[in-house]
Structure 1
Amino acid sequence: MKGTKNLTQGPILRQLFTLAMPIMATSFIQMAYSLTDMAWVGRLGSEAIAAVGSVGILTWMSTAIALLNKVGAEVNVGQAIGAQDEQAARNFASNNITLALLISVLWGAILFIFARPIISIYELQPHIEDMAVEYLRIISTALPFVFLSTAFTGTFNAAGRSKIPFSINGIGLITNIILDPLLIFGLGWGTTGAAIATWLAEAIVCFLFVYQLKKKKILWDNFIFFTHLKKQYAVRIIKIGLPVATFNTLFAFVNMFLGRTASEQGGHLGLMALTTGGQIEAITWNTSQGFATALSAFVAQNYAARQVARVLKAYHTTLWMTFIFGTFCTFIFICYGNEIFSIFVPEKAAYETGGVFLRIDGYSQIFMMLEITIQGVFYGIGRTMPPAVISVSCNYLRIPMALLFVSWGWGLPGIWWSVTITSTMKGIICLIWFMAIKKKALSYQAD
């Protein structure tokens, strides 16, 4: 099929790396949007970064909702390509993009209208709350760009063309890097300038995706972006993507609760440690997510083509790669937590508080990467429910666990330990579940 890559033949390791490296780079670029904002906003002080961090949880929630369309494209378009059904691949892509636009407009309107009641959950000081509300309202109007770009990314990943999202998002990052200091300090707009810089960068990324698909016709000729939703495609997209979006969204709700608890225990420094620490931890998360996404696309095509041996070999290869990187991140976080945090927030009290978070969180990095890698296999074979059940159950266990540890007088470290323990549990349970169903799930397709 024009513009797509066949992943059912050829050397597995090279294909995984070729597919995974641009995906990881794209994930790091997307993460760098937030880190760039925080690095510059951190120079305004811990109060400003706490305001941006409180919105960061909501943008994370938005990204989680957008996974419905990303995973819906990666699995459905990928399986259609593997089955050599070009028309189905085109229809899945068009229906997915249409769904992305509808969902983003609705969700963006909710965040814009209810910005203040939502931010008030954190019980921040009034002037910090005002900064956060303004930041959130600006960011909420950019969500259609974010959701459409996420849907485009899933489509390109499924087609084996992961270098294109990497290049486009790279241009967006450069735009953000240039605009941040100019708007934050040059024009003196502070956190508002950071929000506008991100808005402009996201808009550019979205329009570049449209250019690649419509003008350059990189995947298909005469591709239709928006269409009347057809039940057979829309239902399948929702069925595949909704469990993933749901458990990631519920995860964001858990983080909102933990953010409020951290604010109660440590003021704006506690909230800052959780939100900024979570962004730093995304280094590990995005690496494993990159490999898992590549694995998902690879598995989707080979599973549909009944290449079970290639599915298993790719799974084992990816596990080894993520284990090695997870071990490295564990060492860095535990040994150099303060130093890493000080890059983003130079205030001594702030980076010492954040350093404790990274040291405790470091113990779970290998298990987090294990969980996300195995998720890639589940997604590729179209079974998105098991990872959702595991994630939702363990993530919501963080709430009573954090409250228990706080009641024991552990303070902020008690909240951090609830995160580490449950992340470890998720990795172990995910591995056990996959081993239990592996033979039946793959042998069924091979029959």
Structure 2
Amino acid sequence: MASSFLGTLYNLTDMAWIGLLGSKAVAGVGVGGMFTWLSQGLASMARMGGQVQVAQCIGRGDRKKAHAYAQTAIQLSTFMGLLYAAVSLLFTNQLVGFFHLTDPEAWTAAISYTKIACGLIVFSFLTLTMTGIYTAQGDSKTPFLANLVGLVLNMILDPVLILGPGPFPKFGVAGAAIATVTAQFVVMSVMILGVIKQKKDNVLKKTRLIAKMHFEHVAGICKIGIPTALQGMAYCAISMILTRMVSAFGAEAIATQRVGGQIESVSWNTADGFASALNAFIGQNYGAGKMDRVKKGYRASLFTVGIWGLLITMLFVFAPNTIASLFFHEPKAIATAVGYLVIVGFSEAFMCVELTTIGALSGLGKTHLCSVISILFTSARIPLAIVLGQSTLGLDGIWWAVSLTSIAKGIIFVFTFFWITKEKPA
């Protein structure tokens, strides 16, 4: 959870400094950030597939097979990261053009951010996959320390590269992308050093990028990981369509959606970190046949993240002006952000519960079921946003479409987990 919270601080640090450049720059980064978000969905294939398979192999006591799955996950992650970077660089104009940005400043910012952040996305792919494999072994301390080093570096580089104080050149939006990519490279390097330095048996030891991949391991990772990847990428694609709808309300609306999503990451990124830990816990105990511990672990997690989500709800609903003023400095942008925070605030606890339950079900190998439920209800945001957005609610109608579907997913996922575990024998 702490590691994921550091990831939240990464994003908030970027947004806070970029906010000083104006809402148009924030809108440009918001569009560019959509493509880095899309990449995370693709990266989750190797991460989730590797994490679940490694955890279940360790639960069964088969460390040799756990190593084979870990190596294959790293190889797949490297290949997909490089492929995504190549596509992003070749088709940058076409990708950004999808959002119909009419403001030249926002367009330039989006192009600049996308080329740098996506062109070197392979560091992010490897960081995510190694974090998953570390977690599968019960070691979340090393990823936390690596992310802490990256965060400190990012916080130092952001003001220097974005604003260019004193003798330093001012890179603006490009500086934010450079700072983020540099931090990701450092995080990845620290985790690699962790594998080398650790004396205990880490399944990542003796991993080779240039080695034959066995069909059994690739298929095992894809079986678990592909539904998760499709779910993540579909979620992002739906958000892209919503962003295009939001763009009709101006640059402030796009900026609000981007920054609002980063502010929300205080809840969803923390819940995602809890879900990752729960995924490893359930994967290992399910592999060992201990269904009683699976159920107890889930109930304890559900209570914990539910309380956290309620705290975030109270913060968003009762103190939206204070939060919005940290990232926006124009009255119109602040007013738009306040409306967003209040509306999505009602769904924060449900979103936390949803993410935690997805981690639990994935630990049982039920990624297909998670994908079906998530894609079905997230897709409902589009027609709902069209109807509500064209009503008297206007822009607020789009925010309500997001909030209401999150509430529905949270409730359905909880009932699904209890139904699945009721059917499974110990």
Q: What TM-score bracket applies, with the shorter chain setting the length?
A: over 0.9
Write the distance in 1 (CA, Å) between the matches of 2:62 and 2:389: 55
- In structure 2, the partner of 1:332 is 315
Equivalents in 1 of 2:315, 2:57: separation in Å? 41
- Over 3 Å counting, the alpha-carbon distance change for 1:116 and 1:432 in structure 2 is same
**How many aligned residue pairs are there?**
419
User: 5+ residue gaps in structure 1?
Assistant: 1-23
Q: In the alignment, what sits opposite 1:309? A: 292
Which residue is 1:70 aligned to? 47
Q: C-alpha distance in 2, partners of 1:325/1:207? A: 32
Write the distance in 2 (CA, Å) between the matches of 1:329 and 1:216: 37
Report the alpha carbon displacement of residue 40 of structure 1 after superposing the two structures with TM: 0.4
1:73 Cα offset (Å): 2.1
Q: Which amino acid aligns with 1:309?
A: D
Matches within 5 A, 1:90-105: 90-105=67-82
Tell me which residue corresponds to 2:106: 128
Q: Once the two structures are superposed, what CA deviation does each residue of 1:281-312 show, in whole Å capped at 9, x if it has no partner? A: 11110121122111111011111111111111
Structure 2 unmatched ranges of 5 or more: none
- Once the two structures are TM-superposed, the CA of residue 217 in structure 1 deviates from its matched residue by 5.6
Q: Quote how far apart the aligned CAs of 1:352 are.
A: 1.4
Structure 2 residue 224 is the aligned partner of structure 1 residue 246? no
The answer to whether residue 212 in structure 2 is matched with residue 228 in structure 1 is: yes
Q: Deviations over 1:76-102 (max 9, x none)?
A: 100111111110010000000000001
What is aligned with 2:94?
A: 117
Paired residue secondary structure (1:343):
helix
2:156 match: 178
C-alpha distance in 2 between matches for 1:222 and 1:250: 34
The correspondence for 2:280, drawn from 289, 297, 306, is: 297
Does residue 373 of structure 2 align to residue 395 of structure 1? Answer: no
Other-structure match for 1:26: 3
The within-5 A match list for 1:286-435 is 286-435=269-418
Give me the whole-angstrom Cα distance separating, in 2, the residues matched to 1:163 and 1:213: 12
Q: Which moved more, 1:343-352 or 1:415-424?
A: 343-352
SS at match of 1:323: helix
Offset of 1:38 from its aligned partner? 0.8
Q: Does 2:90 match 1:108?
A: no
Distance 1:60 1:244 in 2: 14
| Partner of residue 282 from structure 1, selected from 259, 265, 275 | 265
Number of the residue aligned with 1:200: 182
User: Can you list the C-alpha shifts for 1:395-428, whole angstroms capped at 9, x where unaligned?
Assistant: 1110111011122232110000000111011111
Q: Which residue among 183, 186, 189 is the counterpart of 2:171?
A: 189
Is the 2:49–2:225 Cα contact (8 Å) retained in structure 1?
Answer: yes
CA distance in 2: counterparts of 1:50 and 1:435, whole angstroms: 41
Distance 1:217 1:38 in 2: 39
Counterparts of 1:123 and 1:220, CA distance in 2: 46
The residue type paired with residue 359 of structure 2 is G
Amino acid of the structure 2 residue aligned with 1:89: A
Instruction: Please state how far the C-alpha of 1:142 moved relative to its aligned partner.
Output: 1.7
Aligned pair in 2 of structure 1 residues 59, 217: CA closer, same or farther (>3 Å)?
Answer: farther
> What residue identity is the alignment partner of 1:150?
L
Equivalent of residue 139 in structure 2, options 161, 176, 187: 161
Between the aligned partners of 1:135 and 1:155, the Cα distance in structure 2 is 29
CA contact (8 A) 1:213 1:223 kept: no
SS in 1 for 2:213: coil
Contact map agreement 2:70 2:204 (CA 8 A) in 1: no
From 245, 255, 261, give the equivalent of 2:245.
261
Alignment partners' CA distance in 1, 2:199 and 2:160: 35
Q: CA deviation at 1:388?
A: 0.7
The letter for the 1-side match of 2:258 is: T
Secondary structure in 2 matching 1:122: coil
Distance apart, 1:138 and its partner CA: 0.7
Q: Give the % identical residues.
A: 38
Structure 2 counterpart of 1:204, one-letter code = V
Distance apart, 1:277 and its partner CA: 0.4
Q: How far did residue 346 of structure 1 move?
A: 2.2
CA contact (8 A) 1:51 1:128 kept: yes
1:415 partner amino acid: I
Contact residue 66 and residue 203 of structure 2 kept, 8 A? no
The amino acid of 1:95's aligned partner reads: T
How far residue 221 of structure 1 moved from its aligned partner, in angstroms, is 8.3
Q: Which moved more, 1:305-314 or 1:90-99?
A: 305-314
- Give the aligned residue type for 1:34: N
Task: Specify the code of the residue in structure 1 equivalent to 2:294.
Answer: V
Q: Which amino acid aligns with 1:212?
A: G
Whether 2:128 is the aligned partner of 1:150: answer: yes
Moved more, 216-225 or 354-363: 216-225
Aligned partners of 1:273 and 1:354 also within 8 Å: yes
Instruction: Report what 1:3 is aligned to.
Output: none
1:5 alignment partner in structure 2: none
Q: Which amino acid counterpart does residue 175 of structure 1 have in structure 2?
A: L
Read off the aligned partner of 2:115 and give its amino acid letter: R
Q: Distance in 2 between matches of 1:302 and 1:79?
A: 8
Equivalent residue letter for 1:202: Q
Q: Contact 1:69–1:154 at 8 Å: present in 2 too?
A: no
